[in-house]
Amino acid sequence: MIQMIADTHVHIWDFQRAEYAWLKNNTSILNRTYSIDELDTQRKEAGVTTGILVQAANNFEDTDWMLHVAVNTDWIAGIVGWLPLTNPDATLKALQKKYGKENYFKGVRHLIHDEPDAKWLLQPEVIESLHILSEHNIPYDVVGILPEHIETALEVAGKVPHLKMVFDHLNQPPIATKEKFGKWGELMKEAAQHKNFYAKISGLGTAAQKGESWTADDIKPSIEFTLEHFGTDRCFLGGDWPVSLLAGTYNSAWKNYRTVIDELLPVAERSKIYYRNAANFYSF
């Protein structure tokens, strides 16, 4: 029997299809088009059976391109797209006229970590749009990098209590500083008390800030902490390709994640983290 493994955080970008503001003047390996075909061999070797594409630009063009790729790629189960959350009318219109009818439209995200204001989500218009997502049973991906982003998400949970949210990349745990676990830990413990907060174990290789030399031991404490507080029903995994390539290969990242999960959990619980929780969250 094949073990089902969902990678809930795959990026693609195509400079001919959309504009990616954060990649302008970027001098890293990320500053080129990345197509889904590049990942096929690697994801098979890593044992990944299912994928979710996640937005990389705050525009409709990126979302439309992901939808096109998802429809034409057999292992992609859906996308986390973008909606103009600062305009509730436009958000509702986009759902009613287009994305709400798309089977592959599974969630929404905005690049809040690129916004100058860490409290960007608390704008009244954005809160109104998040209510619309909640009413349509569409979850929201929180891509935070600061403790203030967790604090903001906690306030959102108070204002939109039925909205399901997931912390992408665990909101940057302090792996590089080896702090256990400081302000991040206090806030994540608080977030874990809300049943609609989920934790995406992803992006930890780059968070370790050790280049390609990071190991399972580097990320194990953060994952163990997350599993302890969020439980085995609200955590799932993401590879964060191609951003993850800044810290080594796709295979090496998945090997480290799987090593930790297999060490920490009995066989009966692993399938939740590898697949079932993701399928429940993103409805695939």
Using CB atoms within 10 A of its CB, is residue 213 exposed (0-12), middle (13-18) or buried (19+)? exposed
Given a contact cutoff of 8 angstroms between Cβ atoms, the answer to whether 25 and 42 are in contact is: no
pLDDT at 228: 98
- Residue 203: burial class (beta carbons within 10 Å; 0-12, 13-18, 19+): buried
pLDDT of residue 154: 98
Helix axes 124-135, 88-97, angle to 10 degrees: 20
| pLDDT tens for the chain, residues 1 to 284 | 679 999 999 999 999 999 999 999 999 999 999 999 999 999 999 999 999 999 999 999 999 999 999 999 999 999 999 999 999 999 999 999 999 999 999 999 999 999 999 999 999 999 999 999 999 999 999 999 999 999 999 999 999 999 999 999 999 999 999 999 999 999 999 999 999 999 999 999 999 999 999 999 999 999 999 999 999 999 999 999 999 999 999 999 999 999 999 999 999 899 999 999 999 999 99
- DSSP designation for 210: -
Looking at residue 274, its pLDDT comes to 98
Between CA 83 and CA 95 the distance in angstroms is 9
Q: What are phi and psi of 259, to 5 degrees?
A: -60, -45
Residue 2: the pLDDT is 75
